[in-house]
Amino acid sequence: MKRFLASLGSALVFLTVAAPAQTKADQAAFDARLGNAHFYIDGDNYLVIYNDGAPTKINFEEVGGFNWFNQNGEYFADIILRHNRPKTAEQLKQVTLEDQLEIGVESAGPSIEAHYIPGFVGDPPNRVMYYQTPNGPGGYSGEYYVLQMSKEGDSAVTQVLELTDTNLKLRIKGTGTLGERRDHGESTVQFETVINLKRTPFVRLPLSQVFGEACDPTFYDKTAGAEYRSVTDCEIKFERHVRHGYTDALQPTIEEFEKMGWNIFKQPSMEPRTDRGGMSRSRHQTPLVIGGQLDLELDRRSNEEEAVYKKKRQQEVLSRYSMDRQVKELMAVQQEIKANDVINISLATNPAVEAADAISYRKPLTTYPIAGGGLAFGTNDADDDEEGQTRLSPNKTFLYLGPIKQTTVKNSDGSSTVNIRPVFDAKAPLTAAQVIEITIECKPELAAAVIAKLDIHKLQDLVYKGSQ
């Protein structure tokens, strides 16, 4: 048989399995990758689809593992295998087909029987999903086959050959229904997949190096199979540690502006956001990002005084300008008031995990010296310059603490863009503030006063210093 997948857009294997009855509370535990663990291929890893007696075999050479664990005979695994994934910009320019195999296991025993479940919608705890994604210019094209358990009689068996802290070995055999996307017929086919993976043992760095508080790094997942996992005690305490340190660093600034008659409109929350709603299961290979509800807003006037002042300025615009200019002038007044009368300060740890920060400007930047190390600069543009090709970043000042890479490019419209990308230590615990970013939104003169009073040393104490 020709390898039908090679000429089609995508294919899918989707097996639903009835989950065994079991208690979810404290279901299983494993080290939540607070150290440095790496997944890798260890032996054969393939999927074979038999159609008309001829096999189509896909060998996988890369693993993007989520996690797996075995607690008293209760198994959990969530992994992705890949073949032919483009890794460079040059490869992305070529038309390629990337194969992906996703496997989920949740069972109280080493053997799992899969059967067709009528009307089932969504991803069950036990699943096998195979699909093929076209990459490069042109995007999706042609038709693709779908292999799934969609008919009475479709079945499969998953054998957990080995599932330990370091090894995962699975074998899955079954029968499914193969059909084309555009209803060009369907047939019953057999398939088989073999998985052999290994990961390095978890490395637990001394927690005192990060935030000096004893905590339990064990992951008690009460929501196995759900989109979001439970958070660990260490993740919660780490975020609380960062929030308290940030608030302490802001205190001198708050006191100084209160003396000048400014009002506190919003303060950072002390309670961790990770403790509500759980953590994305994909958040396991990148440093923990902390942000949200960390804004400090200072207002020059009280709410009542500000309302009167805004109304006065709006009336001036309406009486001074013709109707065709009023909208633009009112927007300019609003932006002026925000820059002069409101100061917003926010924090994020480990920012730009997947993409660099991009700050655009026309007028030269103002830089600020930071004792003890750091990068601080502010823009001097008065508006967004929406008529230009590049949208600017007016009235913003940025402070970075920790290792970063900085590059600047000149844009075709005469503006410039500085790109800031953190440089992460792959051996650092995920619960470590490797890079801290402070964003200050207000006119440059006010931002300079904020930086002058900000307790930089308390922020620098939050930054991870490595294992030394």
Burial class (CB in 10 A: 0-12, 13-18, 19+), 415: buried
Q: What are phi and psi of 203, to 5 degrees?
A: -115, 115
Q: Indicate if 124 and 165 belong to the same structural domain.
A: yes
Helix orientation angle between 303-320 and 323-341, rounded to the nearest 10 degrees: 150
- Kindly state whether residue 207 falls inside one of the protein's structural domains: no
Average pLDDT over residues 130-135: 74
Q: Cβ neighbours of residue 130 under 8 Å, at least 6 residues apart?
A: 11, 12, 13, 47, 58, 99, 100, 101, 102, 147
Average pLDDT over residues 263-291: 69
Q: Cβ neighbours of residue 283 under 8 Å, at least 6 residues apart?
A: none
Answer with the one of 199, 224, 254 that is the final residue of a domain. Answer: 199
Q: Cβ neighbours of residue 467 under 8 Å, at least 6 residues apart?
A: 205, 209, 427
Out of 37-51, 253-267, 375-389, give the one with best mean pLDDT.
253-267
Least confident of 55-64, 247-256, 415-424: 55-64
Per-residue pLDDT, 312: 75
Per-residue pLDDT, 321: 73
Rg of the chain, C-alpha, whole Å:
28
Per-residue pLDDT, 33: 34
CA atoms within 13 A on the CB side of 87: 5
Out of 20-29, 122-131, 290-299, give the one with best mean pLDDT.
290-299
Average pLDDT over residues 218-231: 55
Distances (CA, A) of 417 to 129, 359, 447: 41, 5, 20
- What number of helices (H) and strands (E) belong to the chain? 6, 28
Answer with the one of 199, 232, 253 that is the final residue of a domain. Answer: 199
* DSSP bridge partners of 146: 12, 179
Q: Indicate if 285 and 371 belong to the same structural domain.
A: yes
Comparing 375 with 430, the larger pLDDT belongs to 375
List, for residues 348-360, the tens digit of each pLDDT value: 888 866 568 899 9
pLDDT of 209 above 60:
no
Comparing 44 with 71, the larger pLDDT belongs to 44
List, for residues 405-416, the tens digit of each pLDDT value: 999 999 998 999
pLDDT of 422 above 80:
yes
pLDDT of 24 above 60:
no
Answer with the one of 142, 166, 199 that is the final residue of a domain. Answer: 199
Average pLDDT over residues 278-290: 65
pLDDT of 432 above 80:
yes
Q: Please name the residue ranges forming H helices in 53-148.
A: 89-92
Burial class (CB in 10 A: 0-12, 13-18, 19+), 39: buried
Give the pLDDT band (50/70/90) at residue 221: low
Compute the distance between CA of residue 125 and CA of residue 106 in angstroms, rounded to an integer: 6
Q: Indicate if 129 and 224 belong to the same structural domain.
A: no
pTM value is 0.54
Per-residue pLDDT, 14: 44
Compute the distance between CA of residue 458 and CA of residue 468 in angstroms, rounded to an integer: 20
Could you tell me what percent of the chain has a pLDDT over 90? 25
Per-residue pLDDT, 77: 84
* Residue 78 domain boundaries: 4-199
Q: Indicate if 263 and 322 belong to the same structural domain.
A: yes
List, for residues 358-393, the tens digit of each pLDDT value: 999 999 999 999 988 899 999 998 887 766 678 888
Comparing 334 with 21, the larger pLDDT belongs to 334
Q: Indicate if 132 and 222 belong to the same structural domain.
A: no
- Mean pLDDT for the chain? 76
pLDDT of 180 above 90:
no
Average pLDDT over residues 196-215: 62
List, for residues 302-347, the tens digit of each pLDDT value: 767 766 667 777 777 677 777 777 776 667 666 776 767 889 999 9
pLDDT of 115 above 60:
yes
The DSSP element (H or E) to which 325 belongs, if any, is helix 323-341
Comparing 277 with 118, the larger pLDDT belongs to 118
Q: Indicate if 185 and 275 belong to the same structural domain.
A: no
Least confident of 26-30, 304-308, 445-449: 26-30
Q: Indicate if 195 and 279 belong to the same structural domain.
A: no
The count of structural domains within the chain is 2
pLDDT of 212 above 80:
no
Q: Report residue 44 CA to chain centroid gap.
A: 31
Q: What letter does residue 46 receive in the DSSP assignment?
A: E
- Kindly state whether residue 468 falls inside one of the protein's structural domains: no
Average pLDDT over residues 110-133: 70
Asked if residue 250 lies in contact with residue 61, where contact means CB atoms within 8 angstroms, the answer is: no
Comparing 117 with 23, the larger pLDDT belongs to 117
Per-residue pLDDT, 193: 94
Strand runs labelled E in 203-295: 218-220, 228-229, 263-266, 279-280
Comparing 6 with 78, the larger pLDDT belongs to 78
Asked if residue 151 lies in contact with residue 115, where contact means CB atoms within 8 angstroms, the answer is: no
Average pLDDT over residues 203-224: 55
Average pLDDT over residues 54-74: 79
Q: Indicate if 166 and 120 belong to the same structural domain.
A: yes
Q: Indicate if 360 and 437 belong to the same structural domain.
A: yes
Distances (CA, A) of 286 to 34, 36, 277, 382, 467: 10, 11, 19, 36, 18
Per-residue pLDDT, 457: 94
Per-residue pLDDT, 453: 94
Angle, CA 334 vertex, CA 333 and CA 337 arms, to 5°: 85
Asked if residue 421 lies in contact with residue 352, where contact means CB atoms within 8 angstroms, the answer is: yes
Average pLDDT over residues 202-215: 55
- Kindly state whether residue 242 falls inside one of the protein's structural domains: yes
Q: Indicate if 151 and 223 belong to the same structural domain.
A: no
Asked if residue 151 lies in contact with residue 38, where contact means CB atoms within 8 angstroms, the answer is: no
- Which of 48-75 are b and which e, b meaning 16 or more Cβ less than 10 Å from the residue's Cβ? ebbbeeeebebebebbebbbbbbeeebb
- Kindly state whether residue 295 falls inside one of the protein's structural domains: yes
- Kindly state whether residue 66 falls inside one of the protein's structural domains: yes
pLDDT of 252 above 80:
yes
Q: Indicate if 166 and 228 belong to the same structural domain.
A: no
- Kindly state whether residue 69 falls inside one of the protein's structural domains: yes
Q: Cβ neighbours of residue 334 under 8 Å, at least 6 residues apart?
A: none
